[in-house]
Amino acid sequence: MAAVALGLTILEGAIPSPLPGVKPGLANIVTLIVLARYGWRTAAWVSLLRVFAGSLLFGNFLTPGFFLGLTGALLSLLVLALAQHLPPRWFGPVTHSVCAAFAHIAGQMALVYLWLIPNAGIAYLMPIFAAAALLFGTVNGLIAARFMDNAETI
Protein backbone atom coordinates (compact mmCIF):
# COMPACT_ATOMS: atom_id res chain seq x y z
CA MET A 1 0.00 0.00 0.00
CA ALA A 2 2.95 2.32 0.63
CA ALA A 3 3.98 1.78 -3.00
CA VAL A 4 0.51 2.82 -4.18
CA ALA A 5 0.68 5.93 -1.99
CA LEU A 6 4.14 6.71 -3.36
CA GLY A 7 2.85 6.27 -6.92
CA LEU A 8 0.07 8.74 -6.21
CA THR A 9 2.62 11.16 -4.75
CA ILE A 10 4.66 10.93 -7.96
CA LEU A 11 1.51 11.41 -10.06
CA GLU A 12 0.56 14.42 -7.96
CA GLY A 13 4.01 15.92 -8.50
CA ALA A 14 3.30 15.98 -12.24
CA ILE A 15 0.05 17.93 -11.80
CA PRO A 16 0.59 21.69 -11.99
CA SER A 17 -0.70 23.57 -8.95
CA PRO A 18 -2.63 26.82 -9.41
CA LEU A 19 -1.34 28.04 -6.03
CA PRO A 20 2.05 27.28 -4.49
CA GLY A 21 1.71 24.83 -1.62
CA VAL A 22 -1.78 23.65 -2.60
CA LYS A 23 -1.88 19.99 -3.61
CA PRO A 24 -4.77 17.52 -3.59
CA GLY A 25 -3.02 14.99 -1.34
CA LEU A 26 -4.04 11.97 -3.39
CA ALA A 27 -1.82 9.63 -1.37
CA ASN A 28 -3.97 10.36 1.66
CA ILE A 29 -6.71 8.29 0.04
CA VAL A 30 -4.49 5.26 0.58
CA THR A 31 -3.81 6.28 4.18
CA LEU A 32 -7.56 6.49 4.87
CA ILE A 33 -8.20 3.07 3.35
CA VAL A 34 -5.33 1.52 5.30
CA LEU A 35 -6.60 3.17 8.50
CA ALA A 36 -10.05 1.63 8.00
CA ARG A 37 -8.76 -1.81 6.99
CA TYR A 38 -5.62 -2.35 9.06
CA GLY A 39 -5.61 0.26 11.81
CA TRP A 40 -3.69 3.36 12.78
CA ARG A 41 -0.25 1.80 13.21
CA THR A 42 -0.18 0.45 9.65
CA ALA A 43 -1.61 3.71 8.29
CA ALA A 44 1.16 5.61 10.08
CA TRP A 45 3.79 3.35 8.50
CA VAL A 46 2.31 3.85 5.04
CA SER A 47 2.10 7.61 5.46
CA LEU A 48 5.60 8.04 6.86
CA LEU A 49 7.17 5.67 4.32
CA ARG A 50 5.54 7.72 1.59
CA VAL A 51 6.90 10.98 3.00
CA PHE A 52 10.45 9.65 3.33
CA ALA A 53 10.52 7.72 0.04
CA GLY A 54 8.87 10.58 -1.84
CA SER A 55 11.39 13.07 -0.54
CA LEU A 56 14.24 10.78 -1.59
CA LEU A 57 12.77 10.30 -5.07
CA PHE A 58 12.14 14.02 -5.58
CA GLY A 59 15.53 14.95 -4.13
CA ASN A 60 14.22 17.11 -1.31
CA PHE A 61 15.17 14.99 1.70
CA LEU A 62 16.03 17.19 4.71
CA THR A 63 14.95 20.36 2.89
CA PRO A 64 12.26 22.71 4.22
CA GLY A 65 9.73 21.02 1.92
CA PHE A 66 10.51 17.66 3.49
CA PHE A 67 10.06 18.99 7.01
CA LEU A 68 6.81 20.72 6.03
CA GLY A 69 5.46 17.46 4.60
CA LEU A 70 6.65 15.47 7.60
CA THR A 71 5.11 17.92 10.07
CA GLY A 72 1.81 17.86 8.21
CA ALA A 73 1.83 14.07 8.05
CA LEU A 74 2.63 13.70 11.75
CA LEU A 75 -0.10 16.09 12.85
CA SER A 76 -2.68 14.53 10.54
CA LEU A 77 -1.74 11.07 11.84
CA LEU A 78 -2.24 12.33 15.39
CA VAL A 79 -5.69 13.64 14.46
CA LEU A 80 -6.54 10.36 12.71
CA ALA A 81 -5.49 8.45 15.84
CA LEU A 82 -8.07 10.44 17.79
CA ALA A 83 -10.72 10.55 15.05
CA GLN A 84 -10.83 6.78 14.60
CA HIS A 85 -12.34 6.50 18.08
CA LEU A 86 -15.28 8.76 17.24
CA PRO A 87 -18.67 7.10 16.62
CA PRO A 88 -18.52 5.58 13.11
CA ARG A 89 -22.19 6.33 12.60
CA TRP A 90 -21.37 10.04 12.26
CA PHE A 91 -17.64 10.03 11.54
CA GLY A 92 -16.44 8.14 8.49
CA PRO A 93 -13.76 8.49 5.82
CA VAL A 94 -14.92 11.93 4.69
CA THR A 95 -14.87 13.38 8.20
CA HIS A 96 -11.53 11.74 8.93
CA SER A 97 -10.11 13.09 5.68
CA VAL A 98 -11.28 16.65 6.30
CA CYS A 99 -9.98 16.61 9.88
CA ALA A 100 -6.63 15.23 8.71
CA ALA A 101 -6.42 17.83 5.92
CA PHE A 102 -7.00 20.67 8.38
CA ALA A 103 -4.44 19.18 10.77
CA HIS A 104 -1.95 18.82 7.93
CA ILE A 105 -2.22 22.46 6.91
CA ALA A 106 -2.23 23.64 10.55
CA GLY A 107 1.00 21.74 11.18
CA GLN A 108 2.60 23.16 8.07
CA MET A 109 1.54 26.72 8.85
CA ALA A 110 2.81 26.40 12.42
CA LEU A 111 6.19 25.18 11.17
CA VAL A 112 6.37 27.97 8.59
CA TYR A 113 5.69 30.51 11.32
CA LEU A 114 8.08 28.99 13.86
CA TRP A 115 10.95 28.24 11.46
CA LEU A 116 10.76 29.94 8.08
CA ILE A 117 8.65 33.10 8.21
CA PRO A 118 8.09 34.33 11.79
CA ASN A 119 5.58 36.95 10.68
CA ALA A 120 1.92 37.07 11.64
CA GLY A 121 1.13 38.00 8.04
CA ILE A 122 1.10 34.35 7.05
CA ALA A 123 -2.24 34.12 8.86
CA TYR A 124 -3.75 35.85 5.82
CA LEU A 125 -3.05 32.68 3.86
CA MET A 126 -5.12 30.52 6.20
CA PRO A 127 -8.49 31.08 4.47
CA ILE A 128 -7.00 29.94 1.15
CA PHE A 129 -5.36 26.87 2.66
CA ALA A 130 -8.44 26.11 4.78
CA ALA A 131 -10.65 26.21 1.69
CA ALA A 132 -8.23 23.88 -0.11
CA ALA A 133 -8.16 21.55 2.92
CA LEU A 134 -11.96 21.43 2.99
CA LEU A 135 -12.23 20.83 -0.75
CA PHE A 136 -9.49 18.23 -1.12
CA GLY A 137 -10.24 16.61 2.23
CA THR A 138 -13.85 16.10 1.15
CA VAL A 139 -12.95 14.82 -2.31
CA ASN A 140 -10.27 12.44 -0.99
CA GLY A 141 -12.63 11.18 1.71
CA LEU A 142 -15.37 10.52 -0.85
CA ILE A 143 -12.93 8.65 -3.09
CA ALA A 144 -11.66 6.57 -0.15
CA ALA A 145 -15.24 5.81 0.94
CA ARG A 146 -16.09 4.75 -2.60
CA PHE A 147 -13.10 2.39 -2.75
CA MET A 148 -14.00 0.93 0.64
CA ASP A 149 -17.62 0.39 -0.39
CA ASN A 150 -16.55 -1.31 -3.62
CA ALA A 151 -14.08 -3.53 -1.78
CA GLU A 152 -16.82 -4.76 0.56
CA THR A 153 -18.97 -5.97 -2.34
CA ILE A 154 -16.17 -8.07 -3.82
93 neighbors 141 (Cβ within 8 angstroms): yes
Looking at the chain, the whole-number percentage of residues with pLDDT higher than 90 is 80
Query: Could you list the residue range(s) of the whole structural domain that residue 82 is in?
Result: 2-153
Q: What is the CATH number of the domain that holds 34?
A: 1.10.1760.20
pLDDT tens for each residue of 14-70: 888 878 878 899 999 999 999 999 999 999 999 999 999 999 999 999 999 999 999
Instruction: Look up the pTM and report it.
Output: 0.90
CA distance linking residue 93 with residue 146, whole number of Å? 10
CA distance linking residue 9 with residue 120, whole number of Å? 31
Q: For the chain, how many structural domains are there in total?
A: 1
Which of 91, 104, 84, 109 has the alpha carbon at shortest distance from 24?
104
